[in-house]
Amino acid sequence: MDVAQAIRLKRAVRSYAARPLPEEAIQAILLAGRRAQSAKNTQPWHFIAVQERNRLEALSRTGTFAGHLAGAPLAVAILTPDPAQRWSILFDAGQAAALRPVPETNRTSSSGVLQA
């Protein structure tokens, strides 16, 4: 798959199959975020992978646009230093979030969730 096709096929998926993600898919998602660009290559973030159903359901109630997390097999929290320290911290976190794997095959969506 070429870059243009990967960009064109990237989708935000908010409905999920009722099965856990394979460990290799989770690692690919985390690695993509870890390799994201950041100001001066500081990579000012830590990731927390959340798979426990009760925590995903609790996270789904934390904001207006978080409801889809209740049915997700995985959520990745991106922790950063206080953005008041440097304006680029939130921009950097956005870079990490945007680098979820793009579809390499039909098996993985842009959110890293396996397609049925």
Structure tokens at 98: 């945007």
Mean pLDDT of 62-79: 92
Long-range contacts of 2-9 (CB under 8 A, 24+ apart): 6/102, 6/103, 6/104, 7/102, 9/102, 9/103
116 part of a folded domain: no
Where in the sequence is the domain holding 55, given as residue range(s)?
A: 3-98
Q: According to the model, what pLDDT value does residue 79 have?
A: 92
The number of folded domains in the chain is 1
Stated pTM of the model = 0.74
CATH value at residue 56: 3.40.109.10
Distance in Å from the first CA to the final CA of the chain: 20
CA distance 1 to 50: 30
Residue matched to tokens 């409905």: 15
- State pLDDT tens for residues 73-106: 999 999 999 999 998 999 999 888 887 654 443 3
88 part of a folded domain: yes
